Structure 1
Amino acid sequence: MEGRQRVSGGPCVAQAAFDVADPQRTHKATPKRIREFRKRGEIALSRDVVSAATLTGGFVGVVAGAGASRGALLDLTRSAAMASDGGDAVGLPSAAVHGFVVAAGPAMLGAAIGALIAIVAQLGWPPAFRLPAFDLGRLSPVKNLPNTLSPAGMLRRSGAAIGKLVLVGAVVVVALRHRAIAGALEAPGLGALAFALVRRAMWLVLGVLAAIAAIDYALARRRIAAQMRMTPDEVKRELRDQEGDPVIRGRRKQRMRELAKRRMAVAVARADVVVVNPTHYAVALRYDDKVDAAPVVVAKGVDEQAEKIREIARQNSVPVLSRPPLARALHKHVKEGRAVPANLYRAVAEVLAYVYRLRQRGSR
C-alpha cells in the first residue's frame, strides 16, 4: 500500500514523523493550509487505485471488444494460412497490424481511460497544484540505488506484493474450486467452462484489488490529514495573516468610524430638519426640489448617536422638531440615503411646511 507522495511520481515513502501523530497538532487543517499542500503537490494519491482502475478498464475493454477481436484474429489466422500455402503474402504485415489494433485496442483504450479517471478522481479537476521542478539528480540510478536496494525498502515492497498475490489467489481458488471440479465432469463443455472461469476469476481479482485500493487510499488520506494538522500557534498566525495585526485592524476600524461620523456631521449640517423622539431617535431630513424627487433621510441614529445628531443640528441652526411617531417610523422603515415612502409623505410635508414658515418669519 502506498503512503503520502508527491504527484511527480517519486517513490512513495511515508516519513516516520508523519506516522506518529504530533500531540501539539490538535487543530484540523484550514482551507488555506489544504490549498498550500495541494499547490506543493502533497496530496493523498494511491497507486493501488490507479492500478485497480487500469485493470478494470482493460478488462471491460476486452469484454466489450471480444467479438471484434475474435473476428480480427480469425481473419489474421486465415490470411497467414493462405500465405503459407503459397498464396499472396504481400498484405500479411498490414493484416497483422490491423488484427493487433482491433484485438488489443479496446483493452488498451479501456486501461487508459480507467487510469485517467482514477488519477483525475484523486487530484480533482483542474488539478490545483504546481509540479515540482525537474531535477536530473532524481533520475540518477547511482543516487537512487541505496533507496531501491535497501533491505527495508526491498522487504516492504516484496511483502506488499506477496501479500496482495496471496490474497488474490486465495479468493480466486476458494471461489472457483467447486465450480471447476463440477464442470470438469462435463467434457463437451470444457471450452465454455474455461472461458466462464477466466471471466469470473478476473471479476474476483478486480474486486479484491478494488478493496485493497480503497483501504490504501483511506490510509493515504489519513496520513496526509495527520501531516496537515496544525498547532494552536499556526492557527493564530494564519488568522493574523488573513485578517491583519489586531492593533492595525483596530486602528482601521477607528478610522472608519471617524469617517462615518464626519459624513454624518456634514449630512446633518445640510439637512432641512431633524425629527426626534425626545430621548431615543433622531432622523435628519433633506428636501431640495431641484435634486430630490421626495424628501430624503440623510442621517439617523438611536440613543448616543441620536444625541450626537441633535447636537450637530443645534450647532448648525438646523430645526429640531419632536415628532415621536414619525421619528420612529422613519428610523425603522427608511435607510440612510433613501427617499421617504409615499405613506409618510403627508406627515413629512407638514413638518417641512412648518420649517419653511419658521424660516420665512426669521427672514422678516
Structure 2
Amino acid sequence: MSEQDLDRNESATPYKLEKAKEKGQVAKSSDVISSVVFMAAAVYLVSQGGDAIFEQFKLDQALLRSLGSSTSSTSFFWPLISAAIGSLLILVMPFFVLICLSAVLANILQTGFVFSPSSLSIDLTRINPIAGFKKILSIRTLFDTAKAVIKLSLLSVVAFYALSALSSQFYGIANLSPTEYVRLLISDAASLSIKIASLLIFIAFLDWIFTRREFSKKMRMSKREIKDEHKQRDGDPRVKARIRELQREALKKSKALQQTKNADVVLTNPTHVAVALRYEHGKMESPQIVAKGAGHLAFAIRQIASKHNIPVVQSPSLARRLFKELDVEQEIPPQMFAEVARIVVWVFAMRDKNKKMSSA
C-alpha cells in the first residue's frame, strides 16, 4: 500500500458520510441524551411536581376511605384496583411521555433521522478480544474515564454548595405543616435538579464537540480513496471516454443511414461492405462518402438504396479500400478519383438515359 493511502488528511466526502449513516455510524454523544432527559425531568418537577404529588395523596386517601367502608368481597376489589391503576397511569403518563420525547429529540438533533437495519445484524468482530483490548486502550476510553471522574467531582461540588445554600431552611422544618413541608421539599429538590441538569448540559456540550471531532477524524480519507470514490460513483474516466466515443460513432452511423437516401451510388463487397457516394457537379471537387458500413449496417444501406432506387454497384476491391481508408463526409482523394469517377460517370449516364426513355 502506498504512502498516499495511509495519509488520511482529507475531510470525508458527503457520499462517504451518507453511506456511514446508512450503516448507523454517526457522531452521537450519550451524554447529550442523558442531560436532556434529566433537564426535562427537572423542568417537569418544577412545573408539575407539587400538583402530581398532591394528586397522588388524594388518590391514596380516596383508596383508603373506600377500603375502610367496604366489605372484603372480590367483586368490590377488582373495580377499585382498576380505577386506582387507571388514575395512576393518567398521573404518571405525561411524565413518561415527556421523557421519551426528550430522548428522541436529543437523538434527532444530533444525527437526524437514522434507520439502519444493517446495525442490527450479527457482527462477530464485536466479540473479538484483540479488538476489545485495543478499544480499552483507545483515546475514547481514556477520555470517557477522565470525563466520568471530572463529572463526578463537579456534580459533588454543585450538590454540596446547593445543599449548603438550603441548610438555613432545615431549622424551620419542624414548624411547618405537612403540606408546607412537602412543598418545601419539592421546591428544594427542583432547585437542586436544575443546577445539576445545567452542569450536565455543559458537560454534554463539551462531549458533543469531542465526539464530532473524533468522528470527523475517523471518517477522514486519503486522496487515493477520494479518487476511487469518484471513479466508483461517476465511472472510470477511460471507460466514460470510450462510452462517449461509442455514442458518437453510433450517432454518426445513424446520421449516415439517414443520408443514404441522398446518395448517387452504393459500392458493395458485395455483401459484407457497403459505401454510399454522393456527387454534385459544380459544387463538389470530388465525390463524397455519405455512409459506410459492414455486416448489418451494410445490409441496411443496401435496403435503403433499393427503396430509393439508388444504383448498387459491386466493386469489392474499391469498396474495401474506401471503407478502410476513408471516413464518412470525407471526399475521395486524388489517387482513388479516377476509379471512382468511372463508376460515377457511368451511373450519371445511365440516369440520364433512363430519364430520356421515361420522357419518350
| TM-score range relative to shorter protein | 0.5 to 0.7
* Partner of residue 50, structure 1: 33
Q: How many Å separate the matches in 1 of 2:187 and 2:19?
A: 50
Q: How many Å separate the matches in 2 of 1:58 and 1:257?
A: 68
Aligned partner letter, 1:165: L
* Partner of residue 106, structure 1: 94
Judged with a 3 Å threshold, the aligned counterparts in structure 2 of structure 1 residues 79 and 98 are, in CA distance, closer, same or farther, namely: same
Q: Which string of whole-angstrom CA distances, capped at 9 and with x for unpartnered residues, describes residues 303-337 of structure 1?
A: xxxxxxxx96999xxxxxxxxxxxxxxxxxxxxxx
* 8 Å CA contact 1:268, 1:312 repeated in 2: no
> Of the two structures, which has the highest relative contact order with CA contacts closer than 8 Å and spacing of 6 or more?
2
1:77 to 40, 61, 73: 61
Q: Which aligned pairs between 1:6-17 and structure 2 lie closer than 5 A?
A: none
Q: Which string of whole-angstrom CA distances, capped at 9 and with x for unpartnered residues, describes residues 21-61 of structure 1?
A: x9700111112211221222222222212212322333444
Q: How many Å separate the matches in 2 of 1:127 and 1:107?
A: 27
* Partner of residue 37, structure 1: 20
Q: Which aligned pairs between 1:272-311 and structure 2 lie closer than 5 A?
A: none
* Partner of residue 28, structure 1: 11
Offset of 1:99 from its aligned partner?
4.6
2:237 to 231, 243, 246: 246
SS of residue in 2 equivalent to 1:43: coil
Judged with a 3 Å threshold, the aligned counterparts in structure 2 of structure 1 residues 135 and 264 are, in CA distance, closer, same or farther, namely: closer
* Partner of residue 117, structure 1: 105
Q: How many Å separate the matches in 1 of 2:216 and 2:222?
A: 13
Q: Which string of whole-angstrom CA distances, capped at 9 and with x for unpartnered residues, describes residues 45-102 of structure 1?
A: 222122123223334444554424422332213422563x564564453354245324
* 8 Å CA contact 1:57, 1:111 repeated in 2: yes
Aligned partner letter, 1:222: R
The yes-or-no answer on 1:167 pairing with 2:154 is yes
Judged with a 3 Å threshold, the aligned counterparts in structure 2 of structure 1 residues 176 and 313 are, in CA distance, closer, same or farther, namely: same
* 8 Å CA contact 2:27, 2:211 repeated in 1: yes
Offset of 1:209 from its aligned partner?
1.4
* 8 Å CA contact 1:56, 1:111 repeated in 2: no
* Partner of residue 232, structure 1: 223
* 8 Å CA contact 1:73, 1:103 repeated in 2: no
Structure 1 vs Structure 2 CA RMSD: 4.3
Q: Which moved more, 1:241-250 or 1:200-209?
A: 241-250
Q: How many Å separate the matches in 1 of 2:82 and 2:32?
A: 37
The yes-or-no answer on 1:195 pairing with 2:186 is yes
Name whichever structure is richer in helix by fraction: 2
Percent of matched pairs sharing the same residue: 22
Unaligned regions of 5+ residues in structure 2, if any?
Answer: 263-327, 333-360
Aligned partner letter, 2:242: R
Q: How many Å separate the matches in 1 of 2:252 and 2:21?
A: 46
SS of residue in 2 equivalent to 1:28: coil
* 8 Å CA contact 1:44, 1:122 repeated in 2: yes
Q: Across the two proteins, how many residue pairs are aligned to each other?
A: 249
The yes-or-no answer on 1:93 pairing with 2:84 is no
Offset of 1:230 from its aligned partner?
0.6
Q: How many Å separate the matches in 2 of 1:269 and 1:78?
A: 101
SS of residue in 1 equivalent to 2:28: coil
Normalising to structure 2: TM-score of the pair? 0.54
Q: Which aligned pairs between 1:190-229 and structure 2 lie closer than 5 A?
A: 191=181, 192-229=183-220
* 8 Å CA contact 1:56, 1:114 repeated in 2: no
Q: How many Å separate the matches in 1 of 2:137 and 2:96?
A: 35
Mark the structure with the bigger radius of gyration: 2
